[in-house]
Structure 1
Amino acid sequence: MKRIIFLVVFVASISFGIAQTPTDYLPKKFHKERREALRKKMPQNSVAVVFANPIRNRANDVDYVFHQDPNFYYLTGFREPNAVLLLFSNDQTDENGTVYNEMIYVPKRDPKAEMWNGKRLGVAGVKRDLGFTKAATSEDFSNTPIDFTKFDQVFIEQFKDDYRNSERKKGEVYDLVKSFKEKSNYNTTNFLSTPKKRIYELITASPVENAANVAQVIGRAVTVYPSLKEDKIVQGYQNASNDKARKEFQEKASLELNSKSNINIEFLSANLAEMREVKTPEELKLLTKAIRISAVGQIEVMKAMKPHMSETEIQGIHEFVYKKYGAEYEGYPSIVGAGNNGCILHYIENNKTKVGHDLVLMDLGAEYRGYTADVTRTIPANGKFNPEQKAVYEVVLKAQNAGIDACKVGNAFWQPGQEAKRVINEGLVELGIIKNVNEQHSYFPHGTSHHIGLDVHDPGTYGAFKENMVITVEPGIYIPEGSPCDKKWWGIAVRIEDDILITNGAPKNLSEEAPRTVKAIEAMMAKKSVLDDFLLPNLDE
């Protein structure tokens, strides 16, 4: 009897433990299908090499919270650092005769490290939970027998070199990239960035007697592209003391331009952008939840907003709602700008201590299971729009509606922006802020739309709209203090942003729960908030 009771308790404890962690991540089947879809795009005798994000340091011995590279997550589902995926167009055979077409290298299990930083999947875990049949530890990658030079093409994304060698352990991204470069005869000039390539071409094509003119061009280029300061050929030519030395660097530049490589840095970015711009049903489920969480955050802030609040406090309410729903992160740094601060498009200081009677522009988005919303509302801190605020707001709302109406399959990606710009210019003329619709101004300085998904600015081809794309429509008017118009408009900033699903019929506003009209916002702000009675002690007395 005791053994039966023990077994029941043991099984219950396991079930209870499992229930304490999220179970609604994308299934391993999704990631496998994405890998297969990418493989079908790969030419014969090619391999894709995709690296996980590294751990990045915040200060001293404190690191930033780890966030996976979206492309790596899209293809693997792996949420830990220091890993690399190999995806082969053709079947490979290892030394044991095992046939495989993909392989993942992940950090090995380390009980001592896990005591500090939490349990890791390890090789057995990625096979069990992520469906890989062939896996090894990250440390094994340096000894991999795979010869990258035998492939016709090796697909990678351009290295940013924004990781460091902590020297704490082997198998970090620093080591993985270093090993890959050694094994693949990696040479940056085989796929030069356009600025570097142009400078190399200029160096090789210009007679040495024109070196002074070339030096001037290089000097201007370096101010725009600082990475050229680190290039030995560019700097060697620039600093050469005589024509003989310059000719030597001309020859080096020529050799680099004409060298051949099987490494391709364009294929992965282009093809993954095309794949990611159209969402699958599994993705839409998670993305819609992230968007609805963000909309609820806007609603709760509308009810809780008071003139004595700070921008930081308002930000905190949004992010509390996100955490209440189990969102792991904010999709991007939260923007809460009151009054003139709203005119700063990516204002993230959020340090105004009292929002007073200003409009408060709130551009925030929850990230849920990797997918990021992007929702903006602009509301009056005291619950009522004054005449000037209302007039500007109504123009932006009309522009947004025109933009949303243009979100239809087959329409050009930029059409919503064109429609919104037309409406805003007409509205600014009616308000007397500009003189005619063709007047150049900076009151609406940005576009209206971008893809959202695993990134807040998700990659895409930016071609015609397709079914199951999800984009933003976010027109705005920003009138900073000192603008060339009547002072009554100064300090007014309005942006309204919603996340729109492209369908075969009418566009669907996934963030429509958050009120958009003046009447609906004021009605929501008049409601009681659950936070009205949430009072904390005064720490300054």
Structure 2
Amino acid sequence: MNNTQFAARRARLCAAMQPGAVAILPTAPEVQRNSDSDYPYRHDSYFYYLTGFTEPDSVLVLVAGIGETAAQSILFCRQKNVEREIWDGLRHGPEGARSAFGFDCAFPIDELDGEMARLLANAPAAYYALGHSAALDMQMKNWLLAVRRQARGGVTAPAVAHDLLALLDEMRLFKDDSEQATMLRAATISGLAHARAMRASKPGMFEYEIEAELLHEFRRSGAQYPAYTPIVAAGANACVLHYNANSAQTRDGDLVLIDAGCELDSYAADITRTYPVNGRFSDPQRTLYELVLASQNAALAVLRPGRKYSDIHDCATRVLAQGMLDLGLLDKGKWGSVDDVIAERAHQQFYMHGTGHWLGLDVHDAGAYRDVHADGKPSRPLQPGMVLTVEPGIYVRPAEGVPEQFWHIGIRIEDDVLVTPDGHTILSASAPKLADDIEQLMRA
């Protein structure tokens, strides 16, 4: 991405704000890990979306245009510091950041409080992330108090506060061409990492050894980080949805469920594949695998502009519920029909999560799942530019009445999908998915 795209986003946001209003958006703080060690720094996604700037201790302020007065974008950031740069690397400094990233002006972060009292004076409204940060809420309170102290001079403080994230969420939901290209590359790298893990897997390996294959491929291919802590779950561990200890030893006959994706240039991939560690599905494993794959195919069949987001989950769930009845996981005599199963949520014994989520700068990305402007807030229709995951699964724990041949089998199949004008594109196609293809890859 280039600075023109970030500037265009700032302009769009200012156009959506009340004329003359001021928006304040800080980046994420650095977080101490232990002693004198910090966690690897990751900027705030909203802040990056508008700036492309990745240094900590930074705040973006936007002033919406009014009349003939143009909108302004102002950055507050760390001063240049040659001594610290020897230890920590480049700091752009205000002037360097202004010229490199296209802001109208920039100030040292130490001047934020004084400048905010000036910028908020006589502004009709303030936009910020309401209630998301106690520190920012306190700063806003102090800035408003500073403005009100000027009341005798005819200065007024903003009379209204708006949630800035509500505007940004809607913008971030729709990915432009550059974002789509980055996400395709992130998903392709991640899919190749899944294939590498499959090829490397052998009974007796530890889950963390398989995880190392993923991380190797991520970094070798240019991704900066995993987008989230990878899940590498063998055997019964696959029935724990957020398992990430990745410490168990695989056994001959286990399935391995890997939920992992890289982060490339701040954008996330999120892919899940399930495969036999010995390279061959047993009959019960293949039966359940084909059921989950059929449910994903049913969901993908309705994934196109105009269909409701909820249709994806509904279609996948019906296929899974019917399979649960047909395979004896659920008692037909007790539940009767798929409609009964779904109405009573009996399927949640084996499928207890949704079928996807938005994807972008965050793994669970910004954007409403319901049409908040419509009566009753129904599920929103899909539109071109949205990117989401489609990830049905089945998780069979031992229980009375559940056929023992299926015990301890956990399967999830997850792809990253772009909604296009004509339908959809699977971004994560580089990850093998058909059972026969997985077995062939592992024999090679």
**What TM-score, normalized to structure 1?**
0.73
Mapped contact 1:399–1:424 kept (Cα < 8 A):
yes
Q: Structure 1: where are the runs of 5+ without partners? A: 1-25, 163-173, 187-259, 528-541
Q: Give the AA of the match of 1:298.
A: H
Matched, 1:454 2:361: yes
Highest Rg: 1 or 2?
1
- Among candidates 123, 126, 129, match of residue 154 of structure 1: 126
- Among candidates 215, 219, 227, match of residue 323 of structure 1: 219
- Among candidates 238, 241, 244, match of residue 348 of structure 1: 244
Cα shift readout 1:167-203 (whole Å, capped 9, x = no counterpart): xxxxxxx6x77544311249xxxxxxxxxxxxxxxxx
Aligned-partner SS, 1:75? helix
- Among candidates 445, 468, 471, match of residue 352 of structure 2: 445
Mapped contact 2:197–2:214 kept (Cα < 8 A):
yes
User: What is the distance in 1 between the residues matched to 2:433 and 2:366?
Assistant: 28
Map of 1:503 onto structure 2: 420
Mapped contact 2:123–2:158 kept (Cα < 8 A):
no
**What TM-score, normalized to structure 2?**
0.89
Map of 2:325 onto structure 1: 429
Mapped contact 2:76–2:108 kept (Cα < 8 A):
yes
Query: Does the C-alpha gap of structure 1 residues 465 and 143 become closer, same or farther in structure 2, counting only changes over 3 Å?
Result: same
Query: Does the C-alpha gap of structure 1 residues 415 and 99 become closer, same or farther in structure 2, counting only changes over 3 Å?
Result: closer
Map of 1:118 onto structure 2: 89
User: What is the distance in 1 between the residues matched to 2:40 and 2:318?
Assistant: 43
Stretch deviating more after TM superposition (83-92 or 441-450)? 83-92
Aligned-partner SS, 2:118? coil
Q: Give the AA of the match of 2:229.
A: P
Cα shift readout 1:64-122 (whole Å, capped 9, x = no counterpart): 001011000000011011111111112699xxxx9761211011111111111111111
Query: Does the C-alpha gap of structure 1 residues 135 and 336 become closer, same or farther in structure 2, counting only changes over 3 Å?
Result: same
Aligned-partner SS, 2:315? helix
User: What is the distance in 1 between the residues matched to 2:306 and 2:217?
Assistant: 37
Cα shift readout 1:228-253 (whole Å, capped 9, x = no counterpart): xxxxxxxxxxxxxxxxxxxxxxxxxx
Mapped contact 1:335–1:347 kept (Cα < 8 A):
yes
User: How do residues 6-85 of structure 1 correspond to structure 2 at under 5 angstroms?
Assistant: 26-85=1-60
Map of 1:242 onto structure 2: none
Cα shift readout 1:133-159 (whole Å, capped 9, x = no counterpart): 200110111221525252221111135
Matched, 1:264 2:161: yes
User: What is the distance in 2 between the residues matched to 1:479 and 1:412?
Assistant: 29
Matched, 1:420 2:395: no
Query: Does the C-alpha gap of structure 1 residues 160 and 277 become closer, same or farther in structure 2, counting only changes over 3 Å?
Result: closer
Aligned-partner SS, 1:414? helix
User: What is the distance in 1 between the residues matched to 2:166 and 2:349?
Assistant: 32
Map of 2:261 onto structure 1: 365
Mapped contact 1:338–1:361 kept (Cα < 8 A):
yes
Q: Give the AA of the match of 1:330.
A: P
Map of 1:227 onto structure 2: none
Map of 2:281 onto structure 1: 385
Mapped contact 2:190–2:260 kept (Cα < 8 A):
yes
Map of 1:20 onto structure 2: none
Q: Give the AA of the match of 2:79.
A: K
Q: Give the AA of the match of 1:505.
A: D
Cα shift readout 1:387-425 (whole Å, capped 9, x = no counterpart): 110010000000000111111001101111100000000
Query: Does the C-alpha gap of structure 1 residues 99 and 137 become closer, same or farther in structure 2, counting only changes over 3 Å?
Result: farther
Mapped contact 2:418–2:425 kept (Cα < 8 A):
yes
- Among candidates 276, 279, 294, match of residue 190 of structure 2: 294
User: What is the distance in 2 between the residues matched to 1:367 and 1:324?
Assistant: 13
Cα shift readout 1:319-346 (whole Å, capped 9, x = no counterpart): 1100001111111111111111111111
User: How do residues 208-287 of structure 1 correspond to structure 2 at under 5 angstroms?
Assistant: 262-266=159-163, 268-287=164-183
Map of 1:221 onto structure 2: none
User: What is the distance in 2 between the residues matched to 1:447 and 1:376?
Assistant: 14
Aligned-partner SS, 2:64? strand
Mapped contact 2:176–2:385 kept (Cα < 8 A):
yes
Q: Give the AA of the match of 2:25.
A: V
- Among candidates 402, 406, 409, match of residue 492 of structure 1: 409
> Could you tell me the percent identity over the aligned residues?
34
Mapped contact 2:64–2:70 kept (Cα < 8 A):
no
User: What is the distance in 2 between the residues matched to 1:328 and 1:420?
Assistant: 33
User: What is the distance in 1 between the residues matched to 2:24 and 2:418?
Assistant: 32
Mapped contact 1:483–1:490 kept (Cα < 8 A):
no
Map of 2:106 onto structure 1: 135
Q: Give the AA of the match of 2:29.
A: P
Q: Give the AA of the match of 2:174.
A: V
Count matched residues. 412
Query: Does the C-alpha gap of structure 1 residues 421 and 99 become closer, same or farther in structure 2, counting only changes over 3 Å?
Result: closer
Deviation for aligned residue 1:161: 4.1
RMSD (CA atoms): 2.1
Mapped contact 2:198–2:275 kept (Cα < 8 A):
yes
User: What is the distance in 1 between the residues matched to 2:103 and 2:400?
Assistant: 59
Deviation for aligned residue 1:506: 2.9
- Among candidates 143, 148, 163, match of residue 183 of structure 1: 143
Q: Give the AA of the match of 2:122.
A: K
Q: Structure 2: where are the runs of 5+ without partners? A: 147-156, 370-379
Mapped contact 1:414–1:449 kept (Cα < 8 A):
no
Q: Give the AA of the match of 1:104.
A: L
User: What is the distance in 1 between the residues matched to 2:424 and 2:71?
Assistant: 43
Q: Give the AA of the match of 1:62.
A: S
Q: Give the AA of the match of 2:3.
A: K
User: What is the distance in 1 between the residues matched to 2:46 and 2:194?
Assistant: 30
Deviation for aligned residue 1:510: 1.0
Q: Give the AA of the match of 2:365.
A: D
Map of 1:6 onto structure 2: none
Matched, 1:521 2:438: yes
Map of 1:255 onto structure 2: none
